[in-house]
Amino acid sequence: MAESDGKGTLGAEFFTPGSSSFTNFLAAHRPELLSLGRLLPEGVHAGEDQVPHGTTILALTYRDGVMIAGDRRATMGNLIAQRDLEKVHPADDYSAVAFAGSVGFAIDLVKLYQVELTHFEKVEGVPMTIKAKATRLATMVRQNLPQAMQGMAVVPLLVGYDQQAPEGRHGRIFSFDVTGGPYEKQGYHAEGSGSPFARGALKKLYRPGMDRRQAALAALQALYDAADDDSATGGPDVSRAIFPIVSVITEDGFERLDEAETEALSIEMVEQRRSRPDGPTAHV
């Protein structure tokens, strides 16, 4: 990244004391590598039918930690731009981030955020707390505000396992608005175009202390309900073997449920829907 003396020696900027933020380092020395904060030409506005958008993502706490999931569809207006988009990614060993919004900028944001957390840990010698991770992500989202105002918003969802939290409260969920405002959510949350339907499903299905299987089924049911009422959200595609991504963060760290487990749970759910198309009812 930096200029060298032709002998493979790093530039002086690598040895100058400064911030533990990799984003700030890039902004100071190679700002052209940052996609955040760049404006489109004056008068240009990106319409929904011109840029791929990712849609519904959700998270919920459960007995062992926190779960995060997302559908696989990306749309451009009324067109399906991609059927197997991955919207859920590990941020570091004990946190994960998912995104809704403009796909290209979202992927850049996720990659930069992953480097940001790694860079901080290498410089400071300790990982960030989950609250600090949320604050740092909020700053990065805020830097994208000029693009968001031109139609290319990115709305992430951050989850993490807080090893310092009291028993039963290790799983934490943070949402963000396009201005970078961070908000901690209790129990569950959803973002994206199908989020009102996903949150409605989680409201009736969520119970504190669910085990991993129960939480995964609740997440899949919520995504199915979102796809049932929101054309931009993709449901389980059995014929193409494309199923939602479901990941968990526990005291053992980040884990993505393997394809076989997600497929089996999705097919079980679809079979249940044959006799009850609107899904399971709330527990009373």
**pLDDT above 90 as % of the chain:** 65
Stretch 147-174: mean pLDDT: 89
Could you say which of 55, 61, 250, 262 is catalytic?
Answer: 55
| Entry field: residues in the chain | 284
Amino acid 211: pLDDT: 97
Mean pLDDT check: name the lowest of 29-38, 128-137, 225-234, 256-265.
29-38
What residue has token string 């005291």?
251
Region of 271 (left: φ > 0; alpha: ψ -120 to 50; beta: rest) is alpha
Active site residue 55: yes
pTM of the predicted structure, to 2 decimals = 0.85
Give me the helix-helix angle, 212-229 and 259-275, nearest 10°.
Answer: 60
